[in-house]
Chains A and B, each alone.
Chain A
Amino acid sequence: MNNIGAADDAYLRVENLSKVYTTRDGEVRALNEISLTQRRGEFLSHVGPSGCGKSTLLMIAAGLVSPSSGVVRVSGRKVDKPRTDIGIAFQSPVLLEWRTALGNVMLQAEARGFDRKESEGRARELLGSVGLGGFEDKYPHELSGGMRQRVSICRALIHNPDHLLMDEPFGALDALTRDQLVLDLQALVSERRMTVLFITHSIAEAVFLSDRVVVMTPRPGCIDRIIDIDLPRPRTLAMRETPEFAAYSRQILDMFLARGVLREH
């Protein structure tokens, strides 16, 4: 096992990870020898253009996709099959249409054989804390997009996982709902001191939520740079207007401009 200096509390360790997909047009290299570490309790975001492999990285870290080369370790143990110590949320809420909001959150508890009464209480509490109190018995088709995504987040948290993996969970939502859910997520996560791996397209979201931001290059995905976000917690919406916040956003933006991810006319 590796013993790299102050990485004693390295919870997640990604070592020379590559992923190549074969498509009709030949081989596509989604990830290109990525290496990084994540500490326990750290909120780590990945920002980058489409196709830079951020989702692939998350899926490999979850054990749902296998790498082409390289390895991912969690607490020193190699990830070679789907991990069950995680909570995962995707861009679409992926709720079971035939279960109520409460039923969907409870699925996680049922799957793990938790005590029904106790987990139901926890589920209701979680749903209440994200503003869904009173909506527990609604079916997904009766809920708005933002509400469904909240349910999926509750589902990812009810079993108090070690690691929370989120793949652009707010990408499909309108700006106001996004802002609210970002605040809700921050509250939920800091309360539990969770280790979070968060994928987003939004620079502002990444800077707002994270301890560190991994900026990725266009395909084939490499790490451009990892930026430490040294802003006080808890972060408020007002902080988004401060020069410090703007400096971080600017830094990332400049990297995108330099790589041609964004082009100004």
Chain B
Amino acid sequence: MTEAGNSASVVASSAATSIEAVEAAIQRRRRSRARRDRVAALIYPVGMIAVLIVLWQAAAALFSIPSYLLPAPSAIAQAIAVNAVLLIKQSLTTTIEILLGFALSVAVGVPLALGIFLWKPFARAVYPVLIASQAVPKVAVAPLFLVWFGFGLLPKVLIAFLIAFFPIVINTAMGLAMVEREKIYLAQSMGLSAFATFRKIQLPNALPSIFAGLKISITFAVVGAVVGEFVGGQGGLGYLLLIANGNMDTALLFAGIVGLTVLGVAFFAVIGLAERLVLPPHAVESTSFGRETM
């Protein structure tokens, strides 16, 4: 190779390695930024809550707000500590109601959605009735359930189910229906049977929508369980709230609310985790605030 050729190839190869080095450096920076983002996603909200709690505590002390009106966070923490066993026991009761109500919602909601999707006469008959039924305030129906089903577990589960099943039906049906027409054409040209088309195309396509419905549904199930306990309670966190309210023990009331919130967040997170496991990376794209674009 000539001298010019030699130096050109040297320049070229060093340029090549330095570009690789630059790319590697960018990759490293991107990964560490992603790590930092994940940590920040946890720290920022937790930090904000901590700040709010501190301000709350300060305000309670400064303005001498009566404890029955707005207890200080320290009082609430004490109520939680003192009543820990009670809180856990009642949480269990409510949890069972929530889970059963949610399970019933899925067991009824998904087949309903499938029926609506697959069979047009069924859709025409059921869908409007379903929507109308959602206009009935479930809180008003609760006392009726008391008359019918008594004070036990069943009425709470049913109320939770009544509130929670509708998002599942809607989201599942919509998710199944909203598939690009060309995907169906493709399935036909590949000779896929109706069942195979459903299994390989329509169902996976609907999964993000279905999980969204599940997330909404579980939070509704929490509400339903509490409503049920309000109306005919003998136990559970909702019942605890009533008792605390009756005794003007607002700190305990807040403790109960904290318990319910923890339950709601925990269930939501479990479904989020399941979603992350079931769906491939494509669907779990979160909106990112403050992340730089390409």
Please state if B182 and A92 are interface contacts (CB–CB under 8 Å).
Answer: yes
With A94-B180, A111-B196 known to touch, is A64 a contact of B201 (CB < 8 Å)? no
A97 at the interface (CB under 8 A from B): yes
A193 at the interface (CB under 8 A from B): no
Q: Give complex CA distance A94, B190 in Å.
A: 14
Which residue of A83, A97, A107, A111 is within 8 Å of B282 (Cβ)? A97
B30 at the interface (CB under 8 A from A): no
Instruction: List the A side residues contacting B200 at CB < 8 Å.
Output: 96, 107, 110-111
Interface residues of B, dominant DSSP: helix
Q: Give complex CA distance A140, B283 in Å.
A: 11
Please state if A107 and B182 are interface contacts (CB–CB under 8 Å).
Answer: no
Which residues of B142-185 have CB atoms within 8 Å of chain A's CB atoms? 180, 182-183, 185
Interface 1/0s, chain A 69-107, versus B by CB < 8 A? 000000000000011101110101010111100000001
B58 at the interface (CB under 8 A from A): no
Instruction: List the B side residues contacting A62 at CB < 8 Å.
Output: 185, 189
With A96-B204, A98-B204, A140-B282 known to touch, is A111 a contact of B182 (CB < 8 Å)? no
A108 at the interface (CB under 8 A from B): yes
B138 CB to nearest A CB, Å:
35
Please state if B188 and A111 are interface contacts (CB–CB under 8 Å).
Answer: no
Q: Give complex CA distance A141, B281 in Å.
A: 9
Kindly report which residue of chain B lies nearest to residue A86, judged by CB atoms. Answer: B189
Kindly report which residue of chain A lies nearest to residue B190, judged by CB atoms. Answer: A111
B137 at the interface (CB under 8 A from A): no
Please state if B189 and A96 are interface contacts (CB–CB under 8 Å).
Answer: no
Instruction: List the B side residues contacting A117 at CB < 8 Å.
Output: none
B186 at the interface (CB under 8 A from A): yes
Instruction: List the A side residues contacting B182 at CB < 8 Å.
Output: 90, 92, 94
Interface 1/0s, chain B 189-203, versus A by CB < 8 A? 111100010001100
Binding site for A on B (CB under 8 A): 180, 182-183, 185-192, 196, 200-201, 204-205, 207, 279-283, 285
Interface contacts beyond A82-B191, A96-B183, A98-B280: sample of 7 additional A-B pairs, CB < 8 Å, sorted by A:
A94-B183, A94-B186, A97-B283, A98-B205, A98-B207, A111-B187, A139-B280
Show 19 residue pairs from A and B whose CB-CB distance is below 8 angstroms, ordered by the A residue.
A62-B185, A62-B189, A64-B185, A84-B191, A87-B189, A88-B185, A88-B186, A88-B189, A90-B182, A92-B180, A94-B183, A96-B204, A98-B205, A98-B279, A99-B280, A107-B190, A111-B191, A139-B282, A141-B282
